[in-house]
Amino acid sequence: MNKEISAAEAANLKESGESIVFLDVREHDEVAICAIEGALHVPMGEIPERLEQLPKEPTLVVFCHHGMRSQNVIHYLEARGMTNTINLRGGIHAWACEVDPEMQRY
């Protein structure tokens, strides 16, 4: 199942106080350019070794630059029994375009 959420929908959930965690799977140099405040940062390559650190609840909104790496991470997590994941469609680029136009883009 391809579960996705738009940047605007994710922002609305965040603002509403809904219990969600943003999981940023980009590399350290990408996070240095721009980030969603409060997001948990675990680069894609570190997911296997840090799997136990990821929250099983609440919903994990997983994102990368454009949404492809995060989708791969979600497939990996779901194969290991995690059912609380959803992909941020368009990644942080969509967030910058739809939610935070002041955010630096790359």
Q: State the catalytic residues.
A: 64
What is the C-alpha separation between 7 and 86, in angstroms, rounded?
A: 12
Beta pairing class for 59-63 and 20-24: parallel
Residue 6: helix, strand or coil by DSSP? Answer: coil
